[in-house]
Amino acid sequence: MRSDLMKKGIEKAPHRSLFKAMGYTQDELERPLIGIANSANEIIPGHIHLDKISEAVKAGIRISGGTPIEFSTIGVCDGIAMNHPGMRYSLASRELIADSVEIMAMAHPFDGLVLIPNCDKVIPGMLMAAMRLNIPAVLISGGPMLAGRRNKEAVDLISVFEGVGACKAGQMSREELQELEECACPGCGSCAGMFTANSMNCLAEALGLALPGNGTIPAVSAARIRLAKVAGMKVMELVALDSRPSDIATAMAFENAMAVDMALGCSTNTVLHVPAIAHEAGIGLNLDLFNVISARTPHLCSMRPGGTHYMEDLHSAGGVQAVMKELSTKDLIHLDAMTVTGKSVGGNLATARVLDEEVIRSVENPYHEEGGIAILYGNLAPEGAVVKQSAVAPEMLQRKGRARVFESETEAAEAILDSAIKPGDIVVIRYEGPKGGPGMQEMLTPTAAIMGMGLGRDVALITDGRFSGGTQGAAIGHISPEGAVGGPICLVQEGDEIVVDIPNKKLQLLVDESTLAQRKSEWSPPEPRIKRGYLARYAHLVTSGAKGAVLSDGPAQGNNP
């Protein structure tokens, strides 16, 4: 066993003595030692209950003859960090989470791992660590929040963000906004729509590294506790078989995850996280592959924020497994890929079925013929930009507009809420990329303000930053190269015409090349916003959003033995 490195033999008597100082018996030390990476804390609604998930996981490990050993990781609540300097730390936290799990599992060589995340950067951070470490591992999330209820209307966190814009526009009173804030988030769990956290929990399931049901079983359900116990038992089976993440998360598995991404209409942040996880596995995912898979994969689920259905609806309709079963009828899923259940994807899908054909439509009757995400290219985004096309109003799919240029998210949000943005404008927010931000802030406040003020069918927003999974509308992010390194977005001037053509995957600045060359010769990079501490180091090391914003000096060249 791997854990023998810290517990077996006469020379490890001091090590055993330290274990016994914590109350471990000799019997417990002779069993496989399973590390539990738990991101429980009291600042994220999706994590407040993870102590209960961990206890259930421990029970499952003990049932199957193992000894669970829990340790912690950090986590950022994107909603609470939104629209202030704290948001710069959100994406950057992903690398620290991956590193911290690596450190704990290498310093204390566990025989297997159970990963307990629930929100945006924690899920991909833990999956990156699992691929890097390549020891038997299962991910079990805390599950999605239920939708709130305001009178008879289902609501969620995005309803509140958009309510701010509606209040500013005089379409909602402050009393109504306060009433909404009281009921939109009714309890624990990752926010109730197909935002980034739930997108990644669903994709972990599709990737095969989490059990069926991981993405959709509600946080408050007893079924979530039962699934956590099964996760504890399954990791013991993986340890016995020496079944590792690299055996499961193959190129086929990543294609499965991307197909599910398209069918569900997941967050644009998956275009950062899925390549970053694949990078740790030594698998290169070119951005063009997202367009290839999107072109052949129908959009089957109309989930919040672009649609009307919530995670609880998707679960009742059959969940991720039912979506995969429907995709498999058109050979869009690799059925031979293995999963942590010990069965292939095809084996898992044998009993799956769609229970509500409005929530999970058939491949013959999709919401859209193409998948939920598109990658755009053009002289504004030579290395690509990302849009959640399933959440764009039809009249905004092709649009020519005038640039309104802002050097930060804060400036843009103030202008939108002060009614300075008019129909036909294209809001340009630059210097918010991985290096320039630094940290690639989410832009939920300006996009929600656009929607809340009734401009969602008239105004587009483009940025080298990124968007919340809760964003809807013509919001185009991850423009690469970013402005801070001299990408073309830094050359846009107030009033320039920009063409957005989502069906043809184009993003074009209508300025001639000689003018752009003159502007480039006069351009100089902005002063770094952060000059010391973690973010300064992060800005120095982080790569382009087109490469998943991974760190340039990370190992990520394969798996540890």
Catalytic residue list: 468
Say if residue 364 is exposed, middle or buried (CB neighbours under 10 Å; 0-12, 13-18, 19+): exposed
Residue 239: alpha-carbon gap to chain centroid: 28
Could you tell me if 50 and 118 are in contact, meaning their C-beta atoms sit under 8 angstroms apart? yes
Say if residue 443 is exposed, middle or buried (CB neighbours under 10 Å; 0-12, 13-18, 19+): buried
Does the CA dihedral 342-345-347-353 come out positive or negative?
A: positive
Tokens of 416: 């939108």
* First-to-final CA distance of the chain: 13
Tokens of 83: 């629209």
Could you tell me if 322 and 205 are in contact, meaning their C-beta atoms sit under 8 angstroms apart? no
Could you tell me if 208 and 127 are in contact, meaning their C-beta atoms sit under 8 angstroms apart? no
On the question of a cis peptide bond just before residue 481, with omega within 30 degrees of 0, the verdict is: yes
Cβ atoms < 10 Å from Cβ of 437: 30
With tokens 């058109």, the residue in question is 330
Nearest of 38, 200, 182 to residue 121 by alpha carbon: 200
Tokens of 309: 């259905």
The SS3 of residue 326 is: helix
> CA 460, 461, 467, 469: dihedral to nearest 10 degrees?
-10
Could you tell me if 131 and 102 are in contact, meaning their C-beta atoms sit under 8 angstroms apart? no
With tokens 């920009």, the residue in question is 498
Tokens of 343: 């069965």
With tokens 């033995």, the residue in question is 561
Could you tell me if 299 and 333 are in contact, meaning their C-beta atoms sit under 8 angstroms apart? no
Distance CA 533, CA 521 (A): 32
Tokens of 128: 């990156």
Distance CA 537, CA 520 (A): 27
Could you tell me if 140 and 116 are in contact, meaning their C-beta atoms sit under 8 angstroms apart? yes
Distance CA 437, CA 433 (A): 5
Cβ atoms < 10 Å from Cβ of 430: 26
Q: Which helix (H) or strand (E) holds 148?
A: strand 148-150
Length of the chain (residues): 561
Pairing of the two strands 137-139 and 506-509: unpaired
Q: Output the CA–CA distances (angstroms, integers) from residue 325 to 143, 297, 305, 318, in the order listed.
A: 21, 13, 24, 10
